[in-house]
Structure 1
Amino acid sequence: QDDGEVIRLFYPPEDDSVRSLQFELNSRVINVYIWKMDSADSARRTWETLFLVEGSVLTRDMGRIKKADYCYAKVVRFGGKDQALIWQKENWVVLAKSPGFTMETEEERQILTELFDPSIRS
Structure 2
Amino acid sequence: MKTRVNRTENIKKVKNSIINITTEKTIINRTEDNYLYTIGDIDLLRTISKLIKSNEISEVANTILNKNKQDNGITFFINKQAAYHNKFHMIDENMSTLDDIEVIIDTQQPDAVIDWILN
TM-score normalised over the length of structure 2 = 0.33
Q: Which has the higher helix share?
A: 2
Larger RCO (CA within 8 A; separation ≥ 6):
2
Relative to the length of structure 1, the TM-score reads 0.33
Higher strand share: 1
